[in-house]
Amino acid sequence: MTYHDNQHNYHSTEENAFEKNNTEVSSERHQENQTITQQPQTRNNQQKQINKLALFISGLTGGLVVAAVGCLLLFTGMLPTQVENTSQPESEPVSGTGENNTTQSETIIPTATSQNYGNTLTSTLEKVSDAVVGVANIQQAGLWTEAREAGAGSGVIYKKENGKAYVVTNNHVVEGASEVEVILANGEKVPAEVLGADELSDLAVLEMDGSKVNQVATLGSSSELSVGDTAIAIGNPLGTEFAGSVTKGIISGLERSVEMDLNRDGQADWTTEVIQTDAAINPGNSGGALINSRGEVVGINSMKIAQANVEGIGFAIPIDEAKPIIDQLETNGEVARPFMGISAVGLSTVPEVNKRQTLKLGDEVDNGVVIAEVQSNSPANQAGLQRYDVITTLNGKEISSMIDLRQILYSEVNIGDQVDVTYYREGEKQTTSITLGEQG
């Protein structure tokens, strides 16, 4: 289209130039007519031949210029050698049956930006792809029923030692399983044992026979991530049919806090820190790897926001947060955390009449947790805490919910530490110290 437009413009320009020249010739002839009153007929014929010759030379020159420009554009790559036809002529069939006939739909346009980029991504995936496996949750509904697969997710082989291989996945992938199978990259299924699972971190560790494991993932560092870094998710979305699926995006956010309802009572009772990514994470990707551009695992894919008006918001557990939990689950089968020995509810959930009459609190106390139960011989019991006490600070930090309390216990202090507690009993402010025990 560009070629024909340029040619048309060129002829228009030449025709204008010719008209100008013709005008000048006519002017000169007019002056000559003032001096010479009669010209021979042969003079007129000669003038017409000159005009035709000038027009021919003009057109020939324009064609040569256009051809030269076309060649220049062609050999410099500015003019495409293949033009996709955007309309189907009525005289031509949409498809043919002959051996050499092709259809317009057979034209495939690659979307890769460069071959070098593709090779780089391929080499990155080669470092980890076989270490990302499927995890099948097999359950038996009843005594006389056959065990069957109740769900499936993904996992990452992070270690191979003494003939055994170890897989990290999500707790919710293996929760309730009577048996677990690991599906290798080649489709082979290998029985696995759950060494330990942790609900708060949503992590679990599996042990399996390592004789058929050929690749182990390299665990990187999530603390080195920056927003905008490349993020690649690998897993088995929707089960083994799409095993080893790869999606690519970026790190969209760091240190995101997501509330979790662990006991499914409609109330958030834990907040977990996650990496946000726009790499597609779908059901079945849970437990799979989020890797960086070097092929290192920087997160364990865990969840996404599933709403009709939300797109590209997925979350992964930072690998730096996961490593110590993985070690404990592999070694001890559980995660040791500080323990106070209380159950409590947020003060904001207490009706105003109970806040006044039972707890005897004034308007100055509007945040805290109300102790509902104190376990016998627990650190809280030994420190003198009782039912209906209202804890407002722990180690000098304000407490407004059980989430705040657990966050301090599980993230900021250790087993055996002594913590200061500020609380209200029957409207009076008091303090005590608790030596934290180990959660059993």
Active site residues: 172, 202, 286
- Return the ∠ at Cα 338 (arms to 332 and 341), rounded to 5°: 115
User: Which tokens go with 286?
Assistant: 């849970």
Contact 422, 393 (CB under 8 A): yes
Cα torsion at 154, 160, 161, 162 (round to 10°)? 80
H helix runs in 273-378, sequence order: 319-332, 352-357
Residue 273: partners with Cβ closer than 8 Å, 6 or more residues away? 255, 256, 257, 318, 321
H helix runs in 319-417, sequence order: 319-332, 352-357, 379-382, 402-411
Phi and psi at residue 188, to the nearest 5°: -75, 140
Which among 26, 315, 10, 331 is positioned nearest to 159, based on CA atoms?
Answer: 331
The single-letter code of the amino acid at 364 is E
d(CA 299, CA 291): 7
Contact 198, 325 (CB under 8 A): yes
Per this entry, what is the length of the chain?
Answer: 440
